Amino acid sequence: MEAIRVELGERSYEICIGPGILPQLGGQLGEFHFSRVALVTNPTVYALYGNTLLHSLKKAGFDAAVVTIPDGEEYKELLWAYHIYGELLKHRLDRSSALIALGGGVIGDITGFVASTYMRGIALVQVPTTLLAQVDSSVGGKTGVNHPEGKNMIGTFHQPRLVWADVDTLRTLPRREFLAGMAEVIKYGIIWDETFFSFLEKNREKILSLDNAAMQFIIRRSCEIKAEVVSRDEREGGLRAILNYGHTIGHALETATGYTTHLHGEAIAMGMYCEALLSSLLGLIDRKSVERVGSLIGSYGLPSKMPSGVDEERIISSMQLDKKAVAGELKFVLPEKVGSVVVKGVRDTEKILESIRSHG
């Protein structure tokens, strides 16, 4: 097992990564002295890992409450948060209790949101079981639920006390979900680390066959990069915005297509390619690097080109509604080369349209 520390003063915490570590979580929680714990999950993940985790908690002396919500992004909303609050009250969780989020980003986000608001905030332990959650959503403290007007529109910052990522859980993940998670892994290479990007180019087969050492390395390196960025800018005052690479266009595509057509990671993959293309249209990056980005995305079975027939005007108007848009100026994270990006406001709608359109 490897541990990475996210340095945030008194809110610092560790991300523990390794194969087969789920049964050890109960023992690890002893040092936190929680009065009670509740496991929050969905039926899919509960059926796979619920018993292992409950057994481990029981061995460590915790009589955990179990709260489930249905499986799906559409349940990441206030009504289901309200349901969780009710269950926690029923099970008498108090201010010294902790919530354990067992699942992907949906469970992590809604559980984090509930943990940050229940009794003005209680402890949160993240046990991510998707690749996306292990490399991204479980780390950094962003929580949230969706609103019909937009994704993640209601949320808080609430850092977990511990992140516990068992790499073996990825073996039961549907292939499409695994590949979608790879989009965020690729993102770290583009925004921060060219050597990591090359590693992903050279080790594709090992990664796609879930080789233990390769998987542990890419999860660790992704978490290290996210931890470093978050430690320097916890609340997205500046640097943290680079983690949104691919998300301006990607989120807008998700909104425009009603969240039903593309998985989050697939939309981000297309967003990353379009935003690299936009960067080259603005003269910030050479075309060869853009194609390198596109090839890596494609080599992991992810789409880089916008689907034909996509409503471009709708994508632009969704972008204008995004939390990140300020006074009509759309904010983009634009690569200058593989491994380095800048954050820039772009007013030239024609160029944005061209980046979306030019390869439909």
Q: Is 302 helix (H, G, I), strand (E, B) or coil?
A: coil
Window contacting ligand NAD (CB under 6 A); options: 79-87, 90-98, 170-178, 306-314: 170-178
Shortest Å distance, C-beta 56 to ligand NAD: 16
Q: Is 71 in the site for ligand NAD (CB under 6 A)?
A: yes
- DSSP H helices in the chain: 25-29, 43-45, 51-59, 78-90, 105-117, 131-132, 175-192, 194-202, 204-208, 212-232, 247-256, 264-281, 287-299, 312-321, 349-357
Task: Work out which of 18, 140, 189, 250 binds ligand NAD, going by CB under 6 A.
Answer: 140
CB distance 271 to 255 below 8 Å: no
Q: Which two tokens stand for residue 301?
A: 């079975």
Task: Work out which of 68, 116, 126, 130 binds ligand NAD, going by CB under 6 A.
Answer: 130
Shortest Å distance, C-beta 353 to ligand NAD: 26
CB distance 86 to 114 below 8 Å: no
Task: Please give the residue whose beta carbon sits closest to ligand NAD in the complex.
Answer: 105
Q: Is 177 in the site for ligand NAD (CB under 6 A)?
A: yes
Question: What does the DSSP assignment read for 129-162?
Answer: -SHHIIIIITSS-B--EEETTEEEEE--B---SE
Distances (CA, A) of 241 to 113, 322, 341: 21, 13, 10
130 vs 159, which CB is nearer to ligand NAD?
130
Instruction: Tell me which residue has tokens 């859980």.
Output: 169
Q: What is the number of other CB atoms lying within 10 angstroms of the CB of residue 122?
A: 24
Q: Draw the binding track, 231-250, toward ligand NAD (x: CB under 6 A; -: no contact).
A: --------------------
Window contacting ligand NAD (CB under 6 A); options: 21-29, 99-107, 115-123, 199-207: 99-107
281 vs 322, which CB is nearer to ligand NAD?
322
Window contacting ligand NAD (CB under 6 A); options: 98-106, 204-212, 272-280, 346-354: 98-106
Q: Counting Cβ atoms within 10 Å, is residue 71 exposed (0-12), middle (13-18) or buried (19+)?
A: middle
132 vs 338, which CB is nearer to ligand NAD?
132
Task: Work out which of 17, 45, 124, 191 binds ligand NAD, going by CB under 6 A.
Answer: 45
24-43 residues in contact with ligand NAD (CB under 6 A) are 42
What is the rounded distance in angstroms from the CA atom of residue 315 to the CA atom of residue 253?
6
Size of the site for ligand NAD (CB under 6 A): 27
What is the rounded distance in angstroms from the CA atom of residue 299 to the CA atom of residue 317?
31
26 vs 105, which CB is nearer to ligand NAD?
105
18 vs 140, which CB is nearer to ligand NAD?
140
* Closest to 240 in 3D by CA, of 1, 6, 4, 5: 6
Q: Is 153 in the site for ligand NAD (CB under 6 A)?
A: no
195-224 residues in contact with ligand NAD (CB under 6 A) are none
Window contacting ligand NAD (CB under 6 A); options: 17-25, 136-144, 206-214, 317-325: 136-144
281-340 residues in contact with ligand NAD (CB under 6 A) are none
Give the total residue count for the chain.
Answer: 360
Q: Which residues are catalytic?
A: 120, 142, 184, 226, 236, 240, 244, 247, 251, 264
Q: What angle do CA 174, 139, 170 make, to 5 degrees?
A: 20
Which residues of the chain form contacts with ligand NAD (CB under 6 A)? 42, 44-45, 48, 71, 73, 76, 103-107, 109, 129-130, 132-133, 136-137, 140, 142, 152, 169, 172-173, 177, 264
